[in-house]
Amino acid sequence: MAAMIEIRNLVRRFGPFTAVDDISFSVGRGEVLGFLGPNGAGKSTTMKMITGFLTPSSGSVSICGADMEAEPLKAKSLIGYLPEGAPAYPDMTPSAFLDFVAEVRGLDRATKARRIGEIVGRIQLEAVLHQPIDTLSKGFKRRVGLAQALLHDPPILVLDEPTDGLDPNQKHEVRKLIRDMASDKAIIISTHILEEVEAVCTRAVIIAGGRLLAEGLPESGGWRFGERFAPTGRLDETFRAITTGREAA
């Protein structure tokens, strides 16, 4: 499987502190990669480098063959990014915000109208489309953030906590949407919700202290990370053992 996202020896330092320490992995078409780690592990920093919001201290990021440093506009045009906190202009309505994002993405008038209509329906934003974003619930704000990431139908999706703030029904719908889109995209999902990994991911990596510690694949009855096997519903114990170095009591 050809890699659509290629991360090679990625390092990010902030003064004397190394937040990301020599991380390498790839994601191919049809893969949904769960990007896991405890708070402070370096997940958000890594995702900001993958999407071009932070420049690596060393290492490289390639998006569908485009080097993020050498061809930043081309690489970024291929990515839909839902960052932590889903920032948006609070005085705008979702309708105005999505129209603005479509203009920035260079969609022509017909494509813009079609894509906004499709995404609003799929993300179920109709009820709040003309309310100021600042007045929306956390869940609806998250959905607006997800909508802007999907708007230009990118081949690469980088989603930081995509179901944060959503109720159980909304989480189910977003996870179904991710599964439905996965066949022709490469998707990275950073999440603390381990059931989300079990629900939508085809592979997972675990990082802590800025270093990649383990890679896991689903097997019959659970997930395997090297010699550790996590039966369905027990992924938390394997995660804890890997990230703390201590087996569960």
Answer whether residue 3 shows pLDDT above 60: yes
- Tell me the pLDDT tens digit for each residue of 184-219: 999 999 988 888 999 899 999 999 999 999 999 998
Q: What pLDDT was estimated at residue 42?
A: 93
* Mean pLDDT value across the chain: 92
Q: What is the pLDDT of residues 218-233, one digit of tens each?
A: 988 889 998 888 887 6
35-62 mean pLDDT:
94
Nearest to 162 by CA among 172, 234, 37: 172
pTM flag (> 0.75): yes
Q: Which residues pair with 76 in a beta bridge?
A: none
DSSP state of 226: T
- pLDDT bin (cut points 50, 70, 90) of residue 246 is low
Spatial separation of the C-alpha atoms in residues 30 and 48, rounded to whole Å: 22
Render pLDDT for 66-106 as a digit per residue (tens, 0 to 9): 999 999 999 999 999 999 877 788 899 999 999 999 999 99
Q: At residue 179, what is the residue type?
A: R
In angstroms, the CA 76 to CA 87 distance is 18
Residues 105-123 as b or e (16 or more Cβ within 10 Å = b)? bebeeeebeebbeebbebb
Q: Are 59 and 22 in contact (CB under 8 A)?
A: yes
Q: Could you read off the pLDDT of 137-181 as tens digits, one per residue? A: 888 998 999 999 999 999 999 999 898 888 898 889 889 999 999
Which pLDDT value is given to residue 247? 57
β-strand partners of 3: 28
Region 109-114: mean pLDDT is 94
pLDDT range class, residue 1, cuts 50, 70, 90: low
pLDDT of residue 66: 96
Q: b/e per residue, 6-37, with b = 16+ CB within 10 A?
A: bbeebbbeeeeebbbbebebbbebebbbbbbb
Instruction: For 3-78+154-244, give the CATH class.
Output: alpha beta
Q: Note the helical H segments in the chain.
A: 43-50, 72-77, 94-104, 109-123, 138-150, 168-181, 194-200, 235-244
Cβ pair 141, 86 in contact under 8 A: yes
Contact 205, 35 (CB under 8 A): yes
Contact 206, 239 (CB under 8 A): yes
pLDDT (0 to 100) of residue 88: 82
